[in-house]
Amino acid sequence: AQKITQTQPGMFVQEKEAVTLDCTYDTSDQSYGLFWYKQPSSGEMIFLIYQGSYDEQNATEGRYSLNFQKARKSANLVISASQLGDSAMYFCAMRDFMDSNYQLIWGAGTKLIIKP
Amino acid sequence: DTAVSQTPKYLVTQMGNDKSIKCEQNLGHDTMYWYKQDSKKFLKIMFSYNNKELIINETVPNRFSPKSPDKAHLNLHINSLELGDSAVYFCASSQARVSAGTQYFGPGTRLTVL
């Protein structure tokens, strides 16, 4: 069965340091996508970054990058030069492209707190 | 020009009441979803509609009934509300072959059942 594991329930990081949020996934399929979302304390779910299983390069979006290691089935989110506004819950999710229901499998999330 | 909107944002009601949450998206997407997020922040898919057809119907009480009058709208009606229904309910939408089907979320509806 497909599964997403986020092993860090919470993290404290000093402002301006880089942050790595862990995500490992389990699937037997070859074609899938990995997503990261941010949920600040205000509650909305914000899409951050996407990585396809066939993408050869790691995805980047501004200060966000995805460290994709396919053989290890990991898709860690890296936030460079963290800011106070990065404090939030972060969710990793996976979609199997053979699933015609377009369903996302979600991790339990990591609560990131940036310290000034 | 909000992409995915939900109303109301907050809903406080008594046990046993019936309530509805409305969702609209102006992204032109063909698939819409309802999620429930519990107090531990775990996200659980409840329903999904693709072109007004129900494609995901997870194990939720039949007190919950989705309705999609058209591709841009997906409403959630809840009968006989119970304390355990208290949660944040998110609507989301996606387009199958656009951006790998990235789901875009509404602001959420915080439901409190007293």
What is d(CA B35, CA B46) in angstroms, rounded to the nearest whole number? 5
pLDDT at A33 over 80: yes
Answer whether residue A101 shows pLDDT above 80: no
Interval A67-88: pLDDT, tens? 999 999 999 999 999 999 999 9
The string of pLDDT tens digits covering residues B83-93 is 999 999 999 99
Q: Which two tokens stand for residue B66?
A: 């989705």
Average pLDDT of span B42-62 = 89
| pLDDT tier for residue A14 given thresholds of 50, 70 and 90 | very high
Paired strand residues for A12:
A113
Whether residue A40 contacts residue A87, with contact meaning beta carbons closer than 8 Å, is answered with yes
Q: How distant is the Cα of A106 from the closest Cα of chain B, in angstroms?
A: 7
pLDDT of residue B1: 65
Average pLDDT over residues A15-31: 95
Chain A residues in contact with B112 by the CB 8 A cut-off are: none
What is the average per-residue pLDDT within A80-101? 92
Residue in chain B lying closest to A38 (CA): B105
Tell me which residue has tokens 């979609």.
A95
Query: B-contacting residues of A 53-112, CB under 8 Å?
Result: 89, 91, 95, 97, 100-104, 106, 108-109, 111
SS3 sequence of A16-66? CCCEEECCEEECCCCCEEEEEEEECCCCCCEEEEEEECCCCCCCEECCEEE
The answer on pLDDT for A105 being more than 70 is yes
Residues 6 or more apart whose Cβ sits within 8 Å of residue A95 = A32, A33, A35, A102, A103, A104, A105, B100, B101
